[in-house]
Structure 1
Amino acid sequence: MKILPIEKLTLVSNLSKSEVLEELSSNTRPTQSLSFGSPKVENAKLFHGTIYEDSFNIKRVIDYRNSFLPEVNGKVIEKTNGTEIEIELKPVSLVMAFMIIWLGGVSFAFITALIGAITGESPLQISLIPLGMLLIGFGMLKFGFSTETEKTKNNIIKILKAKVK
């Protein structure tokens, strides 16, 4: 079981490197600072972020809040019969840091409560509270990230006419 929700995969497209970057550019708008959600617009771009000469850093445009929306870092590599796109999907660094601190603190509380129950200093039921918080934290991280990751991957695969390698 993966603890940190980071997914890496390689896509293969028949498009050239320049066509891949052009498709990404035409479907990506610059990141707006302090945006509080995007209104649904008929011809809105699918992503926001930055496209470089041979790489990109994008996130899917959504009209709701989701802290677990994956950040996509990609590298475009020209091959003889098409293009490979190496992508890494992960939560934003601030969310990852918060979840590591949260899950670490709750794990410490669970272990402390469990030791207290084993030594007889506290009832065993007390350890169920941090255990529940730990399970809820992992569940939020896993569910929130995996549902958004699938949508993001499908959008990228569709616009780049790619297949997973």
Structure 2
Amino acid sequence: MNWWPYEKFSIISPLNPEEVRLRLTEQVSPAFTGSFFEQLTNRYPTPFKGYVNISEFKIEPVVVGRNSFIPFIKGRVEFAETGSCLYITMAMHQEIEYIIIGMAAFLMVAGFGGWIHSSMSDRFDPLSITPFGMLVFIYLIMIYGFNSESNSCKSFLLELLEGDYER
């Protein structure tokens, strides 16, 4: 389990880099740039959106509606003795990370403020530590959501590219 929504790994595939690129291209549609409400409906015939170049790709899974925890997948393809090697990085979208960091900062300030106020009044108020509980809850949801989405993406990529993790 990852403790932060970020993951780096490598896949070794028996396919040559051109075959890898072709297989990825078949599964990736260009990103749709319509309005917010148009993006709520699935307009993609493929499981991923983004782009695939000769030696690199930037993709993300397609979901109906909104899901803040889908990983943004960047990778590059290199020639290897047995076929090709893909170096992949999965992370949450930066905007979502900024929002979560902002919420965490606010909850920590509120939690410490409540804790200091509670300790200065010489009586413990359980309500004063509620922001810390909220912080833990948000963290657990973020980690669970990201890990479940990234695991399904990894399985799909491994199956698509007939690969295995680099050891």
The question of a shared fold, defined as TM-score above 0.5 by the shorter chain, is answered with: yes
What is the CA-CA distance between 1:69 and the residue it aligns to? 0.6
Partner of 2:28: 28
* One-letter amino acid matched to 1:22: L
Q: Residues 9-47 of structure 1: CA distance to partner in whole angstroms, max 9, x if unpaired?
A: 1111000011111110011100001322316x8xx3121
SS in 1 for 2:118: helix
Q: Residues 4-153 of structure 1 correspond to what in structure 2 (within 5 A)?
A: 4-34=4-34, 35-38=39-42, 44-120=45-121, 123-153=124-154
2:3 & 2:102 partners in 1: Cα distance? 13
CA gap of 1:2–1:23, structure 2 versus 1, over 3 A, is closer
Are the equivalent residues in 2 in contact too, given 1:113–1:122 (CA < 8 A)?
no
Q: More deviation in 21-30 or 126-135?
A: 126-135
What is the CA-CA distance between 1:108 and the residue it aligns to? 1.8
Are the equivalent residues in 2 in contact too, given 1:37–1:65 (CA < 8 A)?
no
* One-letter amino acid matched to 1:146: N
* One-letter amino acid matched to 1:68: F
Number of equivalent positions: 162
What is the CA-CA distance between 1:93 and the residue it aligns to? 1.0
Are the equivalent residues in 1 in contact too, given 2:115–2:128 (CA < 8 A)?
yes
SS in 2 for 1:112: helix
SS in 2 for 1:15: coil
- Aligned-residue Cα RMSD (Å) equals 1.9
1:54 & 1:29 partners in 2: Cα distance? 17
2:122 & 2:31 partners in 1: Cα distance? 53
Are the equivalent residues in 2 in contact too, given 1:69–1:91 (CA < 8 A)?
yes
2:92 & 2:14 partners in 1: Cα distance? 29
SS in 1 for 2:106: helix
Instruction: List runs of 5+ in structure 1 lacking aligned partners.
Output: none
Instruction: List runs of 5+ in structure 2 lacking aligned partners.
Output: none
1:64 & 1:48 partners in 2: Cα distance? 14
TM-score of the superposed pair, with normalisation by structure 1: 0.89
TM-score of the superposed pair, with normalisation by structure 2: 0.88
Q: Which runs of 4+ in 1 moved over 4 A?
A: none
CA gap of 1:21–1:32, structure 2 versus 1, over 3 A, is same
CA gap of 1:3–1:104, structure 2 versus 1, over 3 A, is farther
1:3 & 1:107 partners in 2: Cα distance? 19
